[in-house]
Structures are given as structure tokens and as C-alpha cells.
Amino acid sequence: MKTVYDFTVKDRKGENVSLSEYAGKVLLIVNTATGCGFTPHYEPLEAMYKDLRDKGLEILDFPSNQFAGQAPGSDDEIHEFCTLKFGTEFPQFAKIDVNGDTADPLFAYLAGERPFEGFGKGVKNAMLNKFAKMNNKQFGDKTYIGWNFTKFLVDREGRVVARFEPTVDMKVVREAVEAIL
């Protein structure tokens, strides 16, 4: 059975990193952007990382510019922004595509394990849904991720156990992480 440990990704310096290096850890894998309305999620993500990394949590950050061009900088510029503005210490990888023919295989796998089920109810979520559909029309049946800051929770065996859209309250995400630590 395939797990996230079967994938290799690029770090922000372009070096290959086997996700098997994280075997035995609880992972929260996130596609991010520096110019998104959800960019403030970096703050609770970093707080969670500081509080829970000694218990086995790793947060893996994958910037993507596929959503209205909200991550336009280089890998170094994105990293500098995140460390200076939010004090992030969790691993940040090279900017990737998460949708379409050029989607990173990791994100195609994650979305295959936990497909998109919507952004939830409410006016704000309906607006995001409309905007995301317009943006993601270009990816057709290879639209794996609806928007920035989609989070995938992976257990210590490398299995994808939950998906959280960016509209899910970060307290709910943290509770789910704590429950499997």
C-alpha cells in the first residue's frame, strides 16, 4: 500500500528530500501562499508547530502560485517573508504546482486519498467557491486542490487521515492533530 513516505520532493534549495525521512511523525502537509487572505494561517500553524513538534508533529509547507498568483516570489523570497513576518521554523519546500498536468505527484496522491468535498456553508465560503471554480476551471479533472492553505493530516504510518480546506477553523485542525499525536 502506498503512503506519503513513497514520495520525494524538492526542498527550497532544489535538493531531493524523501518523505520517508519523516517516518513515525504526524505530518500536516499544507499548500501555501504569501499573498492570500488565508496567509495569516501561518501564525496558528507556527504556534502549533512550536507546541507539538516535541510530541512528533512536522508541518510541511509547499508554496504554490496557482491560485490567482498569490505566491509570486522566489523560494528564497517566500521563505524570508514567512520567517520575518510569522517566525516560521517548520520545513518549507520548493514552490510547486498542485493542480493540472504539472501538479506535484504528492498532491495528486493526497487529494486522491482525501478528495475535495467543498468549502462548507456560509456567504464567505460560497464566495470562495465561486472564485475558486473560476480559477481552477483551467485544470479540469486535474483540479486536486481548491485553494491555498488546504491541509492534509498524515498519521505516523504515512496514511492520509484527514483533509482540511482553508475555511476550516484552525482550532479544529489543531484538535485533530492533537488527537492523533
Closest CA to 70 of 128, 17, 140, 110: 128
State residue 128 phi and psi, 5-degree precision. Answer: -65, -40
Q: In terms of residue numbers, what domain contains 109?
A: 4-180
State residue 20 phi and psi, 5-degree precision. Answer: -65, -20
152 or 140, which is more confident?
Answer: 152
The pLDDT assigned to 30 comes to: 98
What DSSP character marks residue 139? G
Q: Which residue's entry shows cell 496514511? A: 159
Whole-prediction pTM? 0.95
Q: How many domains does the chain have?
A: 1
pLDDT in tens, 26-67: 999 999 999 999 999 999 999 999 999 999 999 999 999 999
Using DSSP, state whether 95 is helix, strand or coil: coil
CATH number at residue 111: 3.40.30.10
In the set 36, 111, 145, 153, the catalytic residue is 36
Mean predicted lDDT score pLDDT of the chain: 95
Does the active-site annotation cover 36? yes
Residue 18 has pLDDT above 90, yes or no: yes
CA distance 101 to 140: 10
The pLDDT assigned to 121 comes to: 84
